[in-house]
């Protein structure tokens, strides 16, 4: 694997007249340098949450936040200041030119008892630019563990990003409850010709998610360009998940990831610090450095691209995706016996010496019930992208695998029954009928259950924060 691309994408400068320091970067294929715009003079327009006309009261806090953001936006931009306290936020739309600045001691909780984004940024056809959601150095807190997060409220995000040009999302901790979805998602809001409507020109820094769902974590990016992800940590799940499986985008073949810099990604007791899965998209330049895992399956996982037979047909004319260039440098991974969560499709990567350590646990809610030890520092399964460089890998405590494993390291024997039989049967029609829990009206809503393609499209749209078409 050798890097041959000489791509030199550059970050744009976020032009602002607001009272904050806006930091973006100039990114090349090998380095990034900071560009700082000092706008520390008094903001032209400032609204403080809690001042007269913007008093909070719990359930309607989100409405107060929205009113403050709208007023500042209508006056040409400025700041919304959030003092210490707890606020119930739900489905608040960020607007162009508005910077939401959190003071020490702020805690946000989801309002209205429903799953959704706490903040939206350029979703559903509403493009925005020059936005910020920034906490203090001490960070503010987003709490998904309280009374508002019932078993029915499982799909929560802090921010959903669509068509957004110029942004900062910085300095907060997410106390998760294994809810479905990553804390931040960079989605895809369609396209105009060859221009994807997605996030571009921004920084995402100093974010930690704890108790993250195995399949999600802190960040997921379906599409975006000129973005820095810096100092991102996830306890459980994946710190930075660069997986671009959104069905409408893959069919359109407009979008994907380009000029992305990951600088400091950390995973503890999770799946990986950094994960790649290109699906069918053709990606540009991605640079990652200082990637660390402590007791996770991997530090870096680069999955093989593929065209899903259940999501697409031959008429879609899709090919497996790849990267113009992918540079990964300075990886450190520490082994643990676990047990940590693993998944069925990862069992084939375990060396035979570790097979006795693979088990199952009962009562795993919404997560895989398989458990096992760490697998390897880096899993490199992409054989299509030619310009991939992985350097300076330190694997601590791994005795049975090389530092970087490939398809050649897949166990050749029967791995499919490792861990024993399932403890919790799948909730499908056959098992539900067998257990007497079949409800035809509930299962077959409107007298017809969605087709496989409709179901997959709805799931992908929901994950990418897009409106989903009803099945007919």
What is the reported pLDDT for 308? 93
What is the reported pLDDT for 465? 60
371 lies in the same domain as 453: no
Helix (H) or strand (E) holding 235: strand 224-235
Distance of alpha carbon 334 from alpha carbon 398, whole angstroms: 8
Distance of alpha carbon 248 from alpha carbon 253, whole angstroms: 9
Distance of alpha carbon 31 from alpha carbon 48, whole angstroms: 38
Q: Point out the residues of the chain with pLDDT beneath 50.
A: 1-42, 429, 443-450, 471-472
Find tokens 């707890």 and name the residue: 86
Helix (H) or strand (E) holding 132: strand 128-134
Give the Cβ contact number of residue 200 at 10 Å: 24
Query: How many residues are present in the chain?
Result: 472
All residues at 6 or more sequence positions from 302 whose CB lies less than 8 Å from its CB, including other chains: 276, 326, 378, 379, 380, 381, 382, 388
205 lies in the same domain as 274: yes
**Residue 343 counted as domain residue:** yes
What is the reported pLDDT for 472? 39
Domain end point (choices 406, 426, 446): 426
**Residue 4 counted as domain residue:** no
**Residue 10 counted as domain residue:** no
**Residue 399 counted as domain residue:** yes
What is the reported pLDDT for 423? 79
**Residue 15 counted as domain residue:** no
Quote the tokens at residue 407: 């398809």
**Rg, C-alpha atoms of the chain:** 22
386 Cα distance to chain centroid: 26
141 lies in the same domain as 123: yes
Instruction: Reply yes or no: is the peptide bond before residue 454 cis, omega within 30 of 0.
Output: no
Distance of alpha carbon 106 from alpha carbon 141, whole angstroms: 6
Which residues pair with residue 33 across a beta bridge?
26
Domain containing 443 equals 429-472
Distance of alpha carbon 334 from alpha carbon 195, whole angstroms: 41
What is the reported pLDDT for 458? 57
* pTM for the predicted model, two decimal places: 0.84
Which DSSP category does 193 fall into?
A: T
Find tokens 């409850």 and name the residue: 177
| Helix, coil or strand: residue 247 | helix
Quote the tokens at residue 57: 């009261």
**Residue 221 counted as domain residue:** yes
pLDDT digits (tens, 9 = 90+) for 224-282: 999 999 999 999 999 999 999 999 999 999 999 999 999 999 999 999 999 999 999 99
**Residue 14 counted as domain residue:** no
Q: How far is CA 64 from CA 48, 60, 89, in A?
A: 10, 7, 9
Distance of alpha carbon 263 from alpha carbon 395, whole angstroms: 19
Buried b (16+ CB within 10 A) or exposed e, 310-338: ebbeeeeebebbbbbbbbbeebbbbbbeb
Exposure on the CB side of residue 435, measured as CA atoms within 13 A: 10
Distance of alpha carbon 372 from alpha carbon 271, whole angstroms: 11
412 lies in the same domain as 370: yes
433 lies in the same domain as 404: no
Overall number of domains in the chain: 2
What is the reported pLDDT for 36? 37
469 lies in the same domain as 346: no
319 lies in the same domain as 445: no
Pairing, β 199-210 against β 224-235: parallel
165 lies in the same domain as 260: yes
Q: How far is CA 85 from CA 50, 88, 136, 156, 440, in A?
A: 10, 10, 14, 21, 47
Pairing, β 370-372 against β 359-360: antiparallel
**Residue 8 counted as domain residue:** no
Q: Determine phi and psi for 111, rounding to 5 degrees.
A: -100, 165
What is the reported pLDDT for 83? 97
Distance of alpha carbon 62 from alpha carbon 92, whole angstroms: 6
434 lies in the same domain as 302: no
Q: CATH number for the domain including 336?
A: 2.160.20.10
Q: How far is CA 150 from CA 109, 119, 167, 304, 457, in A?
A: 13, 20, 32, 36, 26
Distance of alpha carbon 2 from alpha carbon 23, whole angstroms: 32
Q: How far is CA 99 from CA 18, 43, 44, in A?
A: 8, 10, 12
All residues at 6 or more sequence positions from 437 whose CB lies less than 8 Å from its CB, including other chains: none
316 lies in the same domain as 449: no
Exposure on the CB side of residue 82, measured as CA atoms within 13 A: 31
| DSSP-derived secondary structure for 374-415 | ---SEEE---S-S-EEEEEEEEES--SS-SEE-GGGS--S--
407 lies in the same domain as 447: no
| Helix, coil or strand: residue 357 | helix
153 lies in the same domain as 300: yes
């Amino acid at each position: 694997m050798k890097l041959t691309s000489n791509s030199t994408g550059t970050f744009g400068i976020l032009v602002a007249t607001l009272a904050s320091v806006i930091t973006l970067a100039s990114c090349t294929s090998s380095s990034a340098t900071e560009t700082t715009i000092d706008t520390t003079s008094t903001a032209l327009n400032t609204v403080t949450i809690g001042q007269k006309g913007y008093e909070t009261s719990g359930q309607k806090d989100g409405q107060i936040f929205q009113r403050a953001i709208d007023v500042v936006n209508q006056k040409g931009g400025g700041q919304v200041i959030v003092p210490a306290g707890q606020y119930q936020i739900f489905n608040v739309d960020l607007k162009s030119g508005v910077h939401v600045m959190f003071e020490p001691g702020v805690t946000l909780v989801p309002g209205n008892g429903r799953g959704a984004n706490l903040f939206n940024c350029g979703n559903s056809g509403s493009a925005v630019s020059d936005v910020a959601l920034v906490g203090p150095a001490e960070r503010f807190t987003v709490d998904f563990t309280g009374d508002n997060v019932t078993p029915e409220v499982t799909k929560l995000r802090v921010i959903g990003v669509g068509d957004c040009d110029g942004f900062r999302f910085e300095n907060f901790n997410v106390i998760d409850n294994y809810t479905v979805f990553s804390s931040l998602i960079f989605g895809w809001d369609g396209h105009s010709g060859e221009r994807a409507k997605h996030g571009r020109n921004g920084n995402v820094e100093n974010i930690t998610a704890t108790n993250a769902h195995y399949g999600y974590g802190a960040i997921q990016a379906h599409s975006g360009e000129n973005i820095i992800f810096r100092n991102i940590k996830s306890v459980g799940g994946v710190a930075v998940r660069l997986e671009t499986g959104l069905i409408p985008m893959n069919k359109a073949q407009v979008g994907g990831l380009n000029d992305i810099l990951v600088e400091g990604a950390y995973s503890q007791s999770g799946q990986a610090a950094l994960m790649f899965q290109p699906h069918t998209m053709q990606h540009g330049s991605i640079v990652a450095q200082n990637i660390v895992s402590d007791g996770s399956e991997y530090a870096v996982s680069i999955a093989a691209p593929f065209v899903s037979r259940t999501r697409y047909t031959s008429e879609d004319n899709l090919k497996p995706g790849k990267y113009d260039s992918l540079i990964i440098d300075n990886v450190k991974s520490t082994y643990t016996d676990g047990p940590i969560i693993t998944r069925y499709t990862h069992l084939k990567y375990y060396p035979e010496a570790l097979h006795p350590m693979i088990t199952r646990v009962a009562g795993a809610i919404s997560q895989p019930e398989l458990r096992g030890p760490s697998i390897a520092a880096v899993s490199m399964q992409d054989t299509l992208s030619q310009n991939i460089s992985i350097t300076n890998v330190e694997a601590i405590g791994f005795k049975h695998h090389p530092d970087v494993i490939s398809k050649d390291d897949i166990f050749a024997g029967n791995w499919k029954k490792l861990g024993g039989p399932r403890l919790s049967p799948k909730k499908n029609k056959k098992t539900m009928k067998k257990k007497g829990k079949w409800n035809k009206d509930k299962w077959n809503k409107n007298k017809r259950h969605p087709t496989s393609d409709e179901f997959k499209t709805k799931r992908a749209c929901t994950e990418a924060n897009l409106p989903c078409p009803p099945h007919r």
